[in-house]
Amino acid sequence: MAKHAYLSASASHRWLACPPSAKLCAEEEDRGSPYAQQGTDAHELCQYLVEKALGLDVKDPTEDLTWYDAEMQEAAEGYCSYVMEQVTEAKKLCIDPLVCVEQTLDFSKWVEHGFGTGDCVIVADGLLHIIDFKYGVGVLVEADKNSQMMCYALGALDTFGDLYDIPCIKMTIYQPRRDNVDTFELTTEELLHWADEVLAPTAKLAYAGEGDFHAGDHCVFCKVKATCRERAKYCQELAKYDFAEGPTLSTEEIGDILPKIDSLVSWAEDIKSYALAQALAGVHYDGYKVVEGRSNRKYTDEAKVAQAVMQAGFDPYEKKLLGVTAMQKQLGKKQFNELLGGLIYKPQGKPVLAPETDKRPDFNTAAEDFKDI
């Protein structure tokens, strides 16, 4: 595999933390996932809506999108509205700001063969704004010192910096399915300092397959995360705990263990998934075998089942109100809001434990309600 595939901006969080992982990942087969295709479809819809809003003559891609639904439409429309709001703000700085959609950004001045695609780049006198659309829901993405966005900003700065005076750079993550619109700002001087002192020297190591292995949160998207020895050592260290005497764990001990649990569970699940895939390919693990899991009965022909049941005098169908997303898809967003806008509510989510650094407000518990009584 060509070395230029090693150092993508989207994987920079990983290879900056663990330079030799770049070469290992490049040697692994790239296995696509339905989630990747879903994200591609959502980006294509976003591109269409933004370019249409900018007055370009573009073709509606929805009939060709495999994963298109009402949720994707709503997410893309929200993104488009946000982008156009930022374009309006940029026009306050100059009459005709440059707006680039799906712009190729070359940052090879710092990373050999380094390039990526910016979802939206807005350039005006005094400001460069990079906006990145994330359709994924599993991982909350933050803009703060986001290395992918910083690589994109370098590419945009290298391309447009001679045409505009850009002292300030703004980077925004738009992640609608997590209700996350996160913006981080830094000066051009700060960005270039990071590029010269951190990005370039680390990229040189990663490109050569050199440097030290380091495990951490960045392992989640690594292709060798299940078999990486450094990650195994890291997780084994996490699992070690000097327990005090006594039949039960104290509040302090549980508090110390909590931050480690997600990493340990993730590692264990990755090993199980990898082992299953290997076993299906013929690898034998002592003490284990592949067996058939539980399954549910299914009809061979639903139409014939319905016909047989109706002929026997019974109703084979259950009547159930469409869910909110399915109903909006059937009615269309405008009519949905007109007919049902006042009949929709969003219940409070279930309580979850999160680090104190989490940006969400504290959950209102019964203890809080009665605290002052």
368: confidence class by pLDDT, cuts 50, 70, 90: low
Helices (H) and strands (E) in the chain, counts: 13, 5
Residue 159 pLDDT greater than 50, yes or no: yes
- Provide the terminal-to-terminal Cα distance of the chain, rounded to the nearest Å: 67
Q: Which residues is 101 bridged to in the sheet?
A: 120
Residue 67 pLDDT greater than 70, yes or no: yes
319: confidence class by pLDDT, cuts 50, 70, 90: confident
Which position has the token pair 């067996």?
A: 291
Per-chain mean pLDDT for the chain: 90
Q: What separation in angstroms does the CA of 152 have from each of 24, 117, 315, 333, 341? A: 24, 8, 59, 34, 39
Strand pairing class (127-133; 98-106): unpaired
| Six-digit token string for 342 | 């006042």
Cα–Cα dist 52/207, whole Å: 39
The fraction of the chain above a pLDDT of 90, given in percent, is: 68
Residue 299 pLDDT greater than 90, yes or no: yes
Residues 6+ away with beta carbon under 8 Å from 122:
83, 86, 87, 90, 97, 98, 99, 100, 128, 129, 131
The confidence score (pLDDT) of residue 2 equals 38
Residue 117 pLDDT greater than 60, yes or no: yes
Average pLDDT value for residue range 196-221: 94
Cα–Cα dist 371/351, whole Å: 18
Cα–Cα dist 1/203, whole Å: 18
Residue 131 pLDDT greater than 60, yes or no: yes
Centroid of chain to Cα 343: 31
Among 2-6, 23-27, 31-35, the range of highest mean pLDDT: 23-27
- 112 closest CA partner among 197, 22, 4: 4
Average pLDDT value for residue range 232-239: 90
Q: 303: part of which helix (H) or strand (E)?
A: helix 302-311
Residue 211 pLDDT greater than 80, yes or no: yes
The confidence score (pLDDT) of residue 47 equals 97
> Cα-atom radius of gyration of the chain, to the nearest Å?
25
Residue 43 pLDDT greater than 70, yes or no: yes
Cα–Cα dist 333/70, whole Å: 8
Among 92-96, 98-102, 356-360, the range of highest mean pLDDT: 98-102
Residue 204 pLDDT greater than 90, yes or no: yes
- For every residue of 134-162, DSSP letters joined together read ----SS----TT-HHHHHHHHHHHHHHTT
pTM, two decimals, is 0.79
Which segment of 27-36, 130-139, 146-155, 235-244 scores lowest on mean pLDDT?
A: 27-36
Average pLDDT value for residue range 207-215: 94
Ordered structural domains, the chain, with CATH: 3-208 (3.90.320), 225-280 (no CATH)
| Six-digit token string for 346 | 């969003």
Average pLDDT value for residue range 266-282: 92
- Answer for the pair 317, 303: CB distance below 8 angstroms, yes or no: no
4: confidence class by pLDDT, cuts 50, 70, 90: very low
Q: What is the pLDDT of residues 332-343, one digit of tens each?
A: 878 998 999 899
The confidence score (pLDDT) of residue 34 equals 74
What is the arrangement of strands in the sheet containing 180-187, beginning at the earlier edge strand?
98-106, 115-124, 127-133, 168-175, 180-187
Alpha-helix runs per DSSP H in 209-283 = 229-239, 251-280
Residue 186 burial (CB count, 10 A): 17
